[in-house]
Amino acid sequence: MDQLVVLLPTLPLVSALLTHLLSGALGRSVSRISVAGGTASFLIAAILLGSVLSGDDVSHLAAGDSWGSLLFDPLSVLMGLLIAGISLLVRIYSVRYMAEEIGYARFFVLLDLMTAALLIMVAAGDLLTLLISWHLIGVLLYFLLGHDTRSTSAYRYGFWTFITYRFGDLPLVLAAAVLFHTFHTWSLPEIFAALAANPDTTTFYDLPVSEVVGALIAMSAFARSAQFLLHTWLPYTMDGPTPVSALMHAGIVNAGGFLINRFAPVFAHTDDVLHWVFIVGVFTAVIGSVLMLSQHDIKKSLGYSTMGQMGFMIMECGVGAFSLAIFHLIAHGLFKGTLFLSAGGIIGEARDDDGVPKDDLYTFIVERQPARNRQPWLLMAAITLTIPVLVLLLSHLLVAPNLFQKQGAIILLFFGWVTGAQLLFATYNMRSENPWRLVALIVFSFIVVVIGYTLISHAFDVFLYPDPEFGTKLYQAAGIDFSWFVILVAFASAVIVLGWLRAYYTERSQNGRWRTPGHWWRNFYALVWREFHILDIYTGLTRGVLAASARVNVWLRWG
Amino acid sequence: MTDLGLVLIGLFLPLFPFSMAFNAVLERVSHPLLRSALLLAWPQVGLWALSAHAAAIPSWLALWALATALLYAFRLLAMREMGRWSGFLATSAWAVLWLPACAGVETSQLWNFAAAFSVPLALLTLLASVLENQFGAAYTGLYGGLARRTPRFSGVLVISVLAATATPVFPAYFAMLHSVIVSQPIPAAVLTGIWLMWSWAAARLLQGLIVGPAEPSPEHDLPIVTTWGYAVGLAGLAVAGVFLTGGSL
């Protein structure tokens, strides 16, 4: 099994080398090497996952004395399978999609190298290997996004990604330096064991090492997963080839969630860091969703959708639901990858026939026709508020009876409740011949989704963090004072319930009539549409720095 | 050796304003091989002189060196001429060597670190001369489109720039990492900032040279044998990075 662990990242490296060397002789069919390598990697990853599921022990394979080691544990094999799978799909898709592009072989070489870097990152057993792969991913992504070397805009936006990723590398370097300085080893298992044995270990300036390292790791994860203020690269990198967008949105951007999970043994001993992670995640989820709704450009909208999802994933880590974040990143990776890879085909087909059935959903969403006769608003509001919370509570109690001891789980239930209620609220406006049938169908599908989600996330929890004590520690690290928690939950519940009631009442009283938005609302919309002017600020700052640099050079006579 | 003697070493292991001497000399040397030799030899002279200094290096000197490295990294951002670009990056990188020196890292290791920074810059100097011969100037943002025009040359250029700006797994990466690890938290944070500016400057340099529409021009591209020579050299550099500077971590 150890040989397979080593072979998994080695195969894409060999494939990259062969693709480069044989591209002249084989021409376009050189892509078969890459696809074959990708298929073999995927099969190996599947075998490794099967072996972990069948109970094989975690192992640590070291090539060098101090670094160059790989971990064979549930997290690395699960992520390895995801990366190998998405990377294989992207390669198969690219065989024809990129056929008329210049630099065909170069594209596959870069894809193979990227796959190798990602596989090494998720399996890295020491800090140095992790740092190297983390850094290389940013560099390779820059060249993948700028694959069309004629396109200056592709490179300009690729540069935004590159510089944000480099910015995110730095806290990880500092975290590695602090850990090495404190524990005198690069090995992750050794560091985690030492920290578990002595959680109160301090470092420079007598600061607790878990807090310092946790904060630095979180910052690195924020940059990689496009959290607010470090997000501008994500919606603007659509000038790169579509397969790269798919790989980026489905795999690379999820690295933040992976990193936080890899350092879970550090976060388990933190006091405040996870609270900040939660705040940043929530803020990003809300801002990303608002920006997504305000954009006219569908590609930018997709980019902001990913940003919102990443915010939610980071928020899940912030409440202590680490394994749920992994489930989320896998689910998001699969559906966003599908969206990107199928986008081109759908656009082509839609030119002949949009293929959208003219049903209730179509008239409501596309034609924007609200129902003429509505159900009693109070009854609908009551259904909206109570059914989701009942479904969520019952399904969670089924798998985890001690649910209410975990604040994080309650917060996630809260989000589930809001989502379910939003779904039901939509039916209030929809034109339908049989509205109760529609409500029943929505409730049924909601139950299926919630039960599926609950069971799968529970399975992830058992698989990734089999020690229940450790899972409880993570939730405790994310918890806040209980009385404050109750106050916050009660306040948020009250705001949401009042909001829904008001929304129902307003819908009922307006009865479908359009009201011109006020001055403040229009200004807010303009602000959101301009993406809060964050890009303008960054552009101004960049120009300022470059102008200052040139001025200093002139003062010093270029010497 | 007195503190004054140490400051004089600042001519070779750059300390601003003595660092201006190196850049002035580099500008006056026009032959590419001589420029490369200068880049390889200059910091080694400084390290040789430093090895004669038995006492500990005062911490104020490390701060001075850090400020020099930061200044030249900042100035590198607006630099568009490849020859001076290499000189500024060399000045910034060699100034960093004071930090591991101050932390007591062995001189033999420092020689490796200096070479780790110098070798890719020497290669870049040779590549800049190719551009000067072809276009009259090695200037980023002036012509562009080299990736289409001369793909082999562009490939070698990209990898040399990455090697020079401390990208894994080239030796300069491990030299930078070593310098961060042996430093105190604030200098370490400044070092990472310097590293970020090198990457920024590298991206600006490359974008202005390789990106843009152009017609292929095979007759101006590097000959295959020369390309293989560069490729073997860079691969050797990467192997040295993993086993030499990387092996010391």
pLDDT of A234 higher than 80: yes
Are A472 and A438 members of one domain? yes
* Residue A388 confidence (pLDDT): 67
What pLDDT score does A447 carry?
76
Q: Are A528 and A468 found together in one domain?
A: no
Quote the DSSP letter at residue A352.
H
The reply to whether residue A136 touches residue B196, judged by beta carbons under 8 angstroms, is no
- Residue B75 to residue A66, Cβ atoms within 8 A: no
Q: How do residues B127-178 score in pLDDT, each as one tens digit?
A: 999 999 999 999 998 888 999 999 999 999 999 999 999 999 899 999 999 9
Residue A419 falls inside a structural domain: yes
- pLDDT tens track for A51-86: 999 887 777 787 777 888 999 899 999 999 999 999
pLDDT of residue A433: 62
- What average pLDDT is seen over chain A? 85
Q: Which residues on chain A are in Cβ contact (under 8 Å) with B210?
A: 149
**A390 in the same domain as A499:** yes
Q: Hey, of A149, A152, A541, A553, which one would you mutate to test binding to chain B, going by the most B CBs within 10 A of its CB?
A: A149
Q: What is the mean pLDDT of residues B68-89?
A: 96
The percent of residues in chain B predicted with pLDDT above 90, rounded, is 79
Residue A372 is predicted with a pLDDT of 56
DSSP strand E in A163-287: where? none
In a domain, A233, yes or no: no
pLDDT in tens, A490-521: 888 788 778 877 777 776 676 656 667 788 88
Which residues neighbour B116 within 8 Å (Cβ) at sequence distance 6 or greater? B170, B171, B172, B174, B175, B240, B241, B245
**Which pTM was predicted?**
0.90
For residue A374, what pLDDT is reported? Answer: 59
Question: Do residue A374 and residue A511 come from a single domain?
Answer: yes
A453 with A535, same domain: the answer is no
Residues A489, A415 share a domain:
yes
pLDDT, residue B223, reads: 92
- What's the total number of domains in chain A? 2
- Contact flag B180-A173 (C-beta cutoff 8 Å): yes
Q: Beta-carbon neighbour count of residue A479 at 10 Å? A: 17
Write out pLDDT tens, residues A1-42: 778 888 999 999 999 999 999 988 888 889 999 999 999 999
A170·B192 Cβ contact <8 A:
yes
| Digit-coded pLDDT (tens) for A167-203 | 999 999 999 999 999 999 999 999 999 999 999 999 9
For an interface test with A, which of B139, B177, B191, B195 has the most A Cβ atoms less than 10 Å from its Cβ?
B177
Spell out which residues of chain B touch residue A205, defining contact as CB-CB under 8 Å.
Answer: 185
The answer on A447 and A534 residing in a single domain is no
CA distance A117 to A132: 9
Q: Which domain holds residue B42?
A: 3-245
Give the chain B residue nearest A178 (alpha carbons).
B181
Minimal Cα distance from B248: which residue of A?
A66
* In the predicted structure, residue A206 carries a pLDDT above the cut 60: yes
Query: A149, B193: Cβ pair inside 8 Å?
Result: no
Instruction: Compute the distance between CA of residue A53 and CA of residue A38 in angstroms, rounded to an integer.
Output: 22
Percent of chain A with pLDDT over 70: 84
In chain B, which residue's Cα lies nearest the Cα of A546? B78
Residue A398 lies in a domain: yes
pLDDT of residue A370: 57
Q: CA nearest B183 in A: which residue? A: A177
Q: What is the mean pLDDT of residues A334-355?
A: 76
Q: Are B162 and A549 within 8 A, CB to CB?
A: no
- Which residue did the predictor score with more confidence, A489 or A382? A489
| Residue contact B181–A149, C-beta within 8 A | no
| Cross-chain residue pair A131–B145, CB shorter than 8 Å | no
Nearest-neighbour CA in chain A from B100: distance (Å): 14
C-alpha–C-alpha distance, residues A29 and A14, integer Å: 17
Q: Which domain holds residue A407?
A: 361-515
Between positions 64 and 93 of B, the ones with CB within 8 A of A are 71, 74-79, 84
pLDDT number for residue A250: 84
Question: Which pLDDT score, from 0 to 100, does residue A506 have?
Answer: 76
Residues of A in contact with B145 (CB under 8 A): 149-150
**Given CB atoms, is B168 within the 8 Å cutoff of chain A?**
yes
Question: Under an 8 A CB cutoff, do A174 and B185 touch?
Answer: yes
Running DSSP on this structure, what letter comes out for residue A30? G
From residue B129, give the alpha-carbon distance in Å to each of A515, B34, B41, B134. Answer: 68, 12, 19, 9
Q: Which of A159, A181, A553 sits opposite B207 (nearest CB)?
A: A159
Residues of A in contact with B198 (CB under 8 A): none
A503 with A528, same domain: the answer is no
Instruction: Assess whether pLDDT exceeds 90 at residue A430.
Output: no
Residues in chain B closer than 8 A to A132 (CB atoms): 168-169, 173
**How many domains are contained in chain B?**
1
* DSSP-based three-state secondary structure for A73: coil
Fill in the DSSP letter of residue B81.
B
Question: Residue A365 pLDDT more than 70?
Answer: no
Q: Please check the confidence at residue A559 and state whether its pLDDT lies above 80.
A: no
CA distance A390 to A379: 16
* Nearest CB neighbour to A167, from listed B189, B196, B249: B196
| Minimum CA–CA partner of B210 in chain A | A149
Contact call for A177 and B181, based on CB within 8 A: yes
Report the pLDDT averaged over residues B36-64: 90
How far apart, in whole angstroms, are the C-alpha atoms of residue A453 and residue A410?
15
Task: Kindly state whether residue A171 falls inside one of the protein's structural domains.
Answer: no
Counting other chains too, the contacts that A374-380 makes at CB distance below 8 Å and 24 or more residues apart are: A374/A428, A374/A429, A374/A507, A374/A508, A375/A428, A375/A435, A377/A428, A377/A504, A377/A505, A377/A507, A377/A508, A378/A504, A380/A424, A380/A425, A380/A427, A380/A428, A380/A504
Q: What's the DSSP call for residue A60?
A: E
Q: Under a CB-based contact definition with an 8 Å cutoff, are residues A227 and A260 in contact? A: no
Residue type, A132: I
Contacts of A114 by beta carbon, 8 Å cutoff, 6+ apart: A87, A137, A140, A141, A144, A247, A252
Model ipTM? Answer: 0.95
Residue A130 forms part of a structural domain? no
pLDDT digits (tens, 9 = 90+) for A91-112: 999 999 998 888 899 999 999 9
pLDDT given at position B43: 95
Of A102, A136, A204, the CB nearest to B168: A136
User: For B213, which residue in chain A has the nearest alpha carbon?
Assistant: A150
Cβ of residue B141 closer than 8 Å to a chain A Cβ:
no
The pLDDT, as a whole number, for residue A89 is 94
Give the tens place of pLDDT for each residue, A116-147.
999 999 999 999 999 999 999 999 999 999 99
What the block records as the tokens of A367 is: 């034609």
How many Cβ pairs closer than 8 A exist between chain A and B? 107
Contact of B246 with chain A, judged by CB distance below 8 Å, is answered with yes
Residues A421 and A533 occupy one common structural domain: no
Q: Are residues A524 and A504 in the same domain?
A: no
Question: A388 vs chain B: nearest CA distance in angstroms?
Answer: 48
Q: Is residue A174 part of a domain?
A: no
From CA A201, how far away is CA A183, in angstroms rounded? 9
pLDDT at B204: 96
> In terms of CA atoms, which chain A residue is nearest residue B159?
A139
8 Å CB contact of B199 and A166 = yes
Q: Which of B79, B157, B192 to mutate to test the interface with A (most CBs of A within 10 A)?
A: B192
- Rounded Cα distance between A287 and A235, Å, is 13
Distance from CA of B24 to the nearest CA of A (A): 6
